[in-house]
Amino acid sequence: MVINIYYGGRGVIDDPTKPVIERMQKVLEELRVSVVLYNLYEYKNTIPTLSQTVKDADGIILASTVEWFGMGGYMLQFLDACWQFGDKSRISEIYMMPVVIAKTYGERQVMADLSNAWETLGGRVLTGLSGYIDNPLDLEVNPDYIAIVETLAEKLYRGVNQREKVFPSSKKALTERVGTPNPLDLSVPEAEQLSKYVSDENYVKTQKEDIQELAVHFKGMLMSEDAGSEEEYIDEIRKAFKPSPDVSGTFVVKIDEKKNDLIIEVSGPKIDVRYDKSSGGDIVMSMKRNVMEDIVSGRMSFQRAFMSGAMDSMKGDFSLLAGIDKVLSFAHD
């Protein structure tokens, strides 16, 4: 079982939501649950990409505090990304538990807003926790508070594990009737630019048709090449390399049709590209050979491959995803 925790606060020391989700994470891990914590403030420049991590979870926790006017902007931005880019069919199978602990008024409203948002996305909502805590230390020493939080974590585990039944919501019908089509063929510009493209259904349709045509065009070419070659793409990557002082790391590309991994190591002005067995990297991407061909030909970026779902999976530091596209400038038609 995989549970993702999305923390929408700003990471301040006295945020009472933090000790709650930390204890819930500990309890879930003791139950042999794989827990992944995403602090949204650490991904503030790439929050739209996190919407793709939701589909890997069996259940999620949306944790927020109350800011001056409701939930914080990071959580709103994440929910917007789920609406615009999330896989609605997958979200419909995912349980969400809201957790809102505040030092000011409004925690119940924020918890209701999180529940309403997830139901509108089509997901399943479990009863969560909201409360007012003036001193966050109480959450670590008060046995009653500790018991409440631990019981909540166990409830989440049982709800997800037993696939708890929930009544259908009218918001699901709303999503099916007026839900915005997912523009999965777009790259990841700033949020306001995304909104412009999302509203243009003709643009989305054209993009999908173009990509389908390109896929057909390259299918015959790819089948005739030697999929086992361990020189393929290396020259193209070296020629495309444009050093950037703020981008360094090891990028691993697992191509389905190849025995070894394509390893791209960037260190300042230097790049090393080779095929080998990899034990991991800053970013590990899995994709089919035709997707890598589209990237190297300049018809698709790594970021676009991830957002569109063409890339099978990606793990690691999401903030570096834009970096690999920055230092590898493939020629575009």
pLDDT attached to residue 194: 53
> In the CATH hierarchy, which top-level class contains the domain 185-333?
alpha beta
pLDDT tens digits for range 214-235: 766 665 555 445 455 678 899 9
pLDDT tens digits for range 244-295: 888 999 999 999 888 899 999 999 899 999 999 988 899 999 999 999 999 9
Q: How confident is the model at residue 187 (pLDDT cuts 50, 70, 90)?
A: very low
pLDDT tens digits for range 7-47: 999 888 889 999 999 999 999 999 999 999 999 999 888 88
pTM: 0.56
Q: How confident is the model at residue 179 (pLDDT cuts 50, 70, 90)?
A: low
Q: How confident is the model at residue 184 (pLDDT cuts 50, 70, 90)?
A: very low
pLDDT attached to residue 331: 67
CATH architecture for the domain at 2-177: 3-Layer(aba) Sandwich (3.40)
Residue carrying structure tokens 């529940």: 115
> In percent, how much of the chain has pLDDT > 70?
80
pLDDT attached to residue 192: 44
Q: How confident is the model at residue 202 (pLDDT cuts 50, 70, 90)?
A: low
Average pLDDT, the chain: 84
pLDDT of 98 higher than 60:
yes
**Mean pLDDT, rounded, for 109-126:** 92
User: Residue 16: CB partners within 8 Å, gap ≥ 6?
Assistant: 65, 101, 102, 103, 133, 136, 139
**Mean pLDDT, rounded, for 198-213:** 62
pLDDT tens digits for range 66-77: 888 788 889 999
User: Residue 164: CB partners within 8 Å, gap ≥ 6?
Assistant: 95, 124, 126, 158
Domain ranges of the chain: 2-177, 185-333
pLDDT attached to residue 217: 60
| β-bridge mates for residue 130, sequence order | 100
pLDDT attached to residue 181: 47
**Mean pLDDT, rounded, for 292-301:** 90
pLDDT tens digits for range 150-172: 999 999 999 999 888 877 766 66
Q: Which of 28-42, 90-104, 134-148, 227-241 has the lowest mean pLDDT?
A: 227-241
**Mean pLDDT, rounded, for 300-321:** 86
Give CA–CA dist 206/177, Å, rounded: 23
